[in-house]
Homo-oligomer: A and B are copies of this chain.
């Protein structure tokens, strides 16, 4: 099976100033094309280290994909190192990339500087895949069998994730043309409302009965719950049917906790339900501070069903904009079932939406005399009336906001499903 190593180059990664998101994106694309990522390595902006690490990885793997080290500024030394590794002593201008550089800078209203045009210069030992979103082209170095013991290729990509993403399709197509690729079949199921260990216990008998060649992984995430991933090699095209049958057997065990076999997130699932039914949504947020509205509106096409949201951080806004009665707050406390319900009903009245979801809670490390820190009251309202729910978490501010938001979205999802199945 063709194997790849992904090498990210840059001191900014090694000293932890930025998180490497490129490697995950690249390995996902390779996996879909049946190329196995055997290793990911991050190395420093040091020419000798770049050359020796990439050479070592090319001995162990068919392909190396590097990202980073190709920016216009002076801290970048990757290009000369790759020229040396590939035995090139001459740089040539790529006219097509130069045209893209001029176009990009022009569209942004920026001057074309010499350091921008330098980006179109590449070692004469490489082929170029164009970078349509940035200035540095992708350089493809091909090595004959003699060099590393097998035919090998190095794809040097820029480090900006937005640029890497756009060029990745062309890179994978080139790999498919030059290397054999097996088929791995993956299916994911999204589950919300159970911790990893409890989920494992619940599905243990089913898991124990899985055929030996089918691999199950648990991938927990505070914003999306646990992703269950089933995968196997698909040599004869039977994988899809086999895994589908296993999933059908799992569905009744998971029940309503299983929220999707197609969407990646609660907000996408909610969006699909609302779009299909032609119903609408609004929200009123306090402790979640806009995160729920933000998650909902990251889904493309959300303007079809999402009317709007009020983040009422100050109590006066709850009273004035959402119409929460002042005595509801003074009687029950600002973090309470009654206030959450009044907020949801208030924003539904204000916007005329079918459904509304509201949150009020303490995200920080303090609470009041009624509710401790980490507590949230969630309310969902709609044609079937208002339901509320209380949850408690023990995290820092940012993580509590994430948990509160995800739990509210799941509560909303269950309400919508119940309504649609009446």
Interface residues of A (CB under 8 A from B): 11-21, 23-31, 37-44, 71-75, 107-108, 110-111, 113, 115-116, 135, 160, 162, 186, 195-198, 200-201, 207, 215-222, 227, 229, 231, 285, 289-294, 296-298, 300, 302-303, 306-314, 316-317, 320-321, 350-352, 364, 394-399, 401
**What residues of B have a CB within 8 angstroms of the CB of A160 in the complex?**
220
Cβ-defined contact, A71 with B218, below 8 A: yes
Rounded to whole Å, the gap between the CB of A275 and the closest CB of chain B is 14
Cβ-defined contact, B300 with A364, below 8 A: yes
**What residues of B have a CB within 8 angstroms of the CB of A300 in the complex?**
364, 397
**What residues of B have a CB within 8 angstroms of the CB of A316 in the complex?**
307, 351-352
Cβ-defined contact, A115 with B200, below 8 A: yes
Tell me which of B27, B116, B197, B297 contacts A197 (CB under 8 A): B116
Q: Is the interface of A mostly helix, strand, loop or mixed?
A: mixed
The winner among A107, A195, A289 for most chain B CB atoms within 10 A is: A289
Given A16-B28, A25-B16, CB of A351 within 8 Å of CB of B297: no
C-alpha gap A326/B357 in the complex (Å): 27
C-alpha gap A320/B302 in the complex (Å): 20
Given A313-B306, A351-B314, CB of A24 within 8 Å of CB of B28: no
Rounded to whole Å, the gap between the CB of A233 and the closest CB of chain B is 13
**What residues of B have a CB within 8 angstroms of the CB of A107 in the complex?**
394
Cβ-closest chain B residue relative to A229: B17
